[in-house]
A and B are shown apart, each in its own frame.
Chain A
Amino acid sequence: MTEELDAGFVAKQIADNDMLSEPAPGRHEVGAARKRKEDARLITGRTQWTDNIQLPGMLHVAFLRSPMAHARVTRVDVSAALSMPGVVAAFSGQDFAAEQGSLPCAWPVSEDIVIPEHPPMAVTEVRYAGEAVACVVATDRYKASDALEAIEIDYEPLPAVLDMTEALEEGGPTVHDAGNKAFTWTFSAGDLDAAFRDAPVVIERTFVQQRLIPSAMEPRAVVAQTDGDSFTLHSSTQIPHVLRIMLAQVTGIPEHKLRVVAPDVGGGFGSKLQVTAEEVLLLLLTRRLGKPVKWTESRSEGNLTVHHGRDQLQRLSLAADADGRLRGLKVDLLADMGAYLMLVTPGIPILGAFMFNGIYKMDAYDFMCTGVFTTKMPTDAYRGAGRPEATFAIERLMDELAAELSLDPIEVRRRNWIAHEEFPYTTISNLTYDSGNYEAATDRALALFGYDKLRAEQADRRDRGDPVQLGIGVSTFTEMCGLAPSRVLGSLSYGAGGWEHASVRMLPTGKVEVVTGSTPHGQGHETAWSQIVADALGVPFDDVAVLHGDTAIAHKGMDTYGSRSLAVGGIAVLQACDKVKDKAKNIAAHLLEASADDIEFDGGTFKVRGTEAGTTIQEVALAAFAAHNLPDGVEASLDSDATFDPGNFSFPHGTHLCAIEVDTETGAAKIRSYVAVDDIGKVVNPMIVEGQVHGGLAQGIAQALYEEAVYDSEGNLLTTTMADYLLPSAADLPDFVTDRTETPATSNPLGVKGVGEAGTIASTPAVVNAIVDALRPYGVNDVTMPCTPERIWRAVQGGTA
C-alpha cells in the first residue's frame, strides 16, 4: 500500500484473499472469486448456440446482398433459382413489400430527426453494400447459397455518399430524399464565450473515431418456427425482450404469440443489441412457408451487415488558464449514422454528450452533434457506445494541454479533477457523480507502473537520440453506467425505460430459481447472481439456478448492454430476495409461535431473538409449499418479483497508464507495460471483474492500434474478412497489470457500478497518448487511429520535415 493511500482516502486497497475461489467459512459469497457455473458446458462443447439447432423439416435461408453502395433496383428475377435442386422458395424485396414494415429506431433524439423507412429487404433502392435484395430457401445451406447465383438482378447505380463533411454540403448526392442530415442535437452549460474570451491557452484539435466492426466470435444466427398460431424465434441476440416487443410491432405478430429465445450467445459487445433485417425476414418466411427456417451468417456477411461502431469526426476546442485550469470546452461532432437509423443509432453519440467533460471541473461546455447519413452500413452500439469517443477526446486534450504548458499530464489532471471530498458533484453536463476517488486510483496506478522510473528512462532515450523512443500515456477516465434511470431516458426521447426485472422462486426442496431479465452473452450472470442470492437468502451457492434469455421463462426484461446488468439487474435480484425473506419471515414467526417483530434472519435461519428456537429458509419453503399451517391470509408461496429502476447512473472510474516503445525508423509500436486501476465500487466476483477489464482493454487497445473498417471510393467494404480486419491475437497484446480501488456507489444497495465497458473506454486514449508522447520531440501532436506503423512513420517524417 502506498503512503498516499494510507493518508486517509476512503478508497480501500483490495485484500489479497478476495481472490479466493470460495469464501472462507463465515465469509460472504459476494466478493469471492467463484469459478463460473457457465463453464461446464462451454469447455466441453455442450453449448447451445443458435446455429446448433436442427428441427424436423427445417429449411435454410441464404440472402443475396447488394454489391453496390447505392443503386436503384430495377429488376429482380428469382425464377431460375426456383428450379435449382433443393430450392423450396425464393423471394425478392417486392415479395415482402406489403408485410415487411420498417426496421425500428427507438431513439428519436431530436425534434428535427429524419427517420427514413428501412425495409428489411430492399425493394426499389439499396443504400449500402451488403443490403439484402433477395433470398433463397432450400433444403441445406449449400444448396441455398448455390441458388443465389441464379438470381438475376439489375441495378442502376447512384452516387455513393461516403464522406460526412461532403455529405453535408449543399447540392451533393443524397442518401435519402430528405437529405443527408439526420438530426442536430445540442447541449450548452455556462458561458462559453466568456470561457474562451482572453483565455491564455486554447487547444484546438480534430480527432477521427474510425469505424469499427464489433466482431463477436459467434456469427449471428436466427431460427424461426411456427405452429400456425404462435411463433418462436431463436436468435443470437443480447436483447430477447426488447426484440420481442419490436418484432411484434414490425411484423404484426401479436406479442403474446411470439416467443423469443436467446440461447447461448457467443459475445455481443453491442452488436447484438439490434433488431435485424434477418430476424424480421425469417419470421415472415416461416409464416409464409409453414416450415422452420434457419439462417447463419458467414463472417464476410457479418462484417458487411452487423452494425458497425464509432465513426465520428470530433472538432474540439479547449480553453484553459495559464496554470492549466480548464475554462471551457466546445465539441462539434459529426456522427456517421450510415444509411439508416437502426435501434439506437442516433442515441449513441448523445450518450457521449455527457462524458466529454470527463472527471474535470470547468466553467462552460458546448456540445453539438450532427447525425449524418452515408451509404455505409448503419452504426450503432459498440462496447462503450458514445462514451469511449468522448473519453478519448477529453483525455487526448488533457495530454495536449499538458504538453502546451510543459506540465506533467498527471499534474494537469490533478489541477482539474473533482477532489474526493467534493462528491457528490454535479458536473458541467449536469450529471451528479455520486462517488469516486481519482486521487487514490491515480496514486495506486503510478506506484504499480513505476511512473517516475519510466519518465527517467524516457528522458534518457530522448537525450541519447535513441531511435526507439518511450512514450507514456495517461487516461483518467470515468463513464456513466447502469443504464439507466427511466426518467432520464424519457427526457432524452428514448423509447423505453431503463429498469430491470427479477423473480426469485423458492422450490419445495429448498433450492432456488432466479429468473432475470438481464440476458448474458458471456459475462457470467449465472455465477454472479448465484453469489448475490446465496448471501441474501443464506442458501448454498450451488443451490441456486439462474434462468434467462427466453421470453417464455423470463417474461420481462430490458436485457444486457451499457454495463447495466449488475447495477440494475443485480439489484432487482437482491430486492426480489428481500421480498422472499419478508414473506418467509411471516411464516417463520407463525411456525415458531413468535411475533414477526422478534424474528431475526441470519445465514439462512430465522431465529426468535434471544432464544435458540429457529427454522431455516428451506424449512419455511417446504412449509409454504405444504400450506398445512400458514398464518391466516398468507399465500402459499414465497416467490417474489422485483423491478428496479435506478435513481442515478453509476460512475466507475480509474487511472490507466500505458508505456509504449515506438521505433521511429520503422513506425512499429509495442506496448511495454499497461497498468489499469479501476474503481468499479463493490465487487461481486473479482475474477469475473478482472476478465471483463482484460477483454475491455484488448478492444480499446485494438481501436488504438489495429482495427478499422475501410470502404473504397465506391463504397465497397474492403475489410470483409478477419484477414483484412485486424483483430488482435494473443501475440499482439501484452500482459496487463490490473488492480482496483473501491469507493462504493451510493445509488444502489450493493454499492456496485459496472465494469463491462471500463477497459475499452479507458484504454484507447491511454495508448494514443503514449504514442504521441513518444513522438513529441519529433513535433508530432497527433496520430490518426489506428496508429499503424505506416501512420506512425509518416507522422515522424512529417514532424521532423
Chain B
Amino acid sequence: MTRISLTVDGVTYEEEVEPRLLLVHLLRDRLGKTGTPIGCDTGNCGACTVILDGRSVKSCSVLAVQADGSDVVTIEGLSGVDGRHPMQEAFHQEHALQCGYCTPGMIMAAIDLLKDDPDPSDEAIRHGLEGNLCRCTGYCNIVRAVRRGAQSMSSPEVVSGI
C-alpha cells in the first residue's frame, strides 16, 4: 500500500492505495466521485476524462499513485455562473447529450481543447474530440456545443472554474 495525497474538486484527500489502483476507481469507489463514469478498459472511449494538473487525462489510464500530489478536477468540480460551467450550459442548450454517459468526459475534454485553441473550427473540434466516443448524438450537436462554449468562455464576464 502506498500513501498518497491529492486534491479532488478542491478537497484534499490522503489515501492508502494499492499501486495498481486506477485513478478512476479511486475517484468512484473510494471518494464517491461517481460523476466520472467508466466506458471501456482500453483508454479508447474517454468517458472517464478528468483534468489533472490543468490537462485532460483519461482517468482509467492513470494510476492513483501517479496522481500523488496532483490537483484533479472532475465534472462535479466545475463551477460557473448559476453553478454551471459555460461548457455544461452549452451542452444543455445545444442538446449535445442523450443518455449522458459520455458527457462528463466530453465536457472535460472540450474544456481542455479550448486551452490550446480558444476559437476552434468545426474540424478542429472534431479532431480534438477524437478520443471521446459518443454513441447517441452523432456528434453534430457536440460540435455546436463546443463552439457555443468557446464563445461563452471567451466573453470577459464569464468566470471559469478551471
Contacts and interface: CB of A to CB of B under 8 A. Distances in A.
Interface string B71-96: 00011101000011000110111010
Considering residues B20, B42, B103, B140, which has the most beta carbons from chain A within 10 angstroms of its beta carbon?
A: B140
Contacts of A49: 34, 37, 101
B139 A52 contact: no
Interface of A: prevailing SS: loop
Considering residues B37, B76, B92, B101, which has the most beta carbons from chain A within 10 angstroms of its beta carbon?
A: B101
Given A727-B135, A730-B139, A43 B84 contact: yes
Nearest to B123: A731
Interface stretch (A189-197, A211-219, A329-337): A211-219
A216 B88 contact: no
B134 A217 contact: yes
Interface in A233-250: none
Q: Which interface class (under 10, 10 to 19, 20 to 34, 35 or more) fits A?
A: 35 or more
Interface in A16-52: 35-36, 38-47, 49, 51-52
B100 A266 contact: yes
B60 to A, nearest CB: 10
B69 interface: no
A523 interface: yes
B95 A691 contact: yes
Nearest to A267: B99
A721 interface: yes
Contacts of A216: 99, 101, 135
A44 B38 CA distance: 16
Contact of A695 (B25, B28, B78, B138): B138
Nearest to B134: A217
A736 interface: yes
A698 B139 contact: yes
B59 to A, nearest CB: 13
A304 to B, nearest CB: 12
A524 B95 CA distance: 10
A694 B100 contact: no
A762 interface: no
Nearest to A303: B40
B86 to A, nearest CB: 11
Interface residues of B, number: 60
A141 B22 CA distance: 12
Interface of B: prevailing SS: loop
A142 interface: yes
A43 B92 contact: yes
A694 B99 contact: no
Contacts, number: 184
A555 interface: no
Contact of B75 (A45, A299, A696): A45
Interface in B40-65: 40-42, 44-45, 47
A44 B78 CA distance: 8
Given A42-B97, A43-B100, A736 B39 contact: no
A759 B74 CA distance: 34
A39 B138 contact: no
Contacts of A727: 133, 135
A43 B25 CA distance: 20
Contact of B92 (A36, A47, A299, A692): A36
A736 B138 contact: yes
Nearest to B74: A45
B51 to A, nearest CB: 13
B93 A218 contact: no
Interface in B129-148: 129-143
A49 B104 CA distance: 13
Nearest to A759: B138
Contacts of A47: 34-35, 37, 100
Contacts of A140: 29
A735 B143 contact: yes
Given A217-B45, A695-B136, A721-B44, A52 B126 contact: no
Contacts of B89: 43
18 contacts: A44-B76, A44-B83, A45-B36, A51-B38, A54-B29, A141-B25, A217-B136, A298-B41, A300-B41, A691-B137, A694-B138, A694-B139, A722-B45, A729-B133, A729-B139, A730-B134, A733-B138, A759-B138
Interface of A: 35-36, 38-47, 49, 51-52, 54, 140-142, 215-219, 264-267, 269, 296, 298-300, 521-524, 687-688, 690-692, 694-699, 721-723, 727, 729-731, 733, 735-736, 759
For the complex of A and B, 7 pairs with smallest distance between CB atoms: A45-B35, A522-B99, A42-B100, A266-B101, A694-B138, A722-B44, A698-B138
Given A266-B99, A296-B38, 12 more contacts: A39-B97, A43-B75, A45-B36, A47-B35, A142-B18, A217-B102, A299-B42, A691-B137, A695-B136, A698-B135, A722-B42, A731-B130
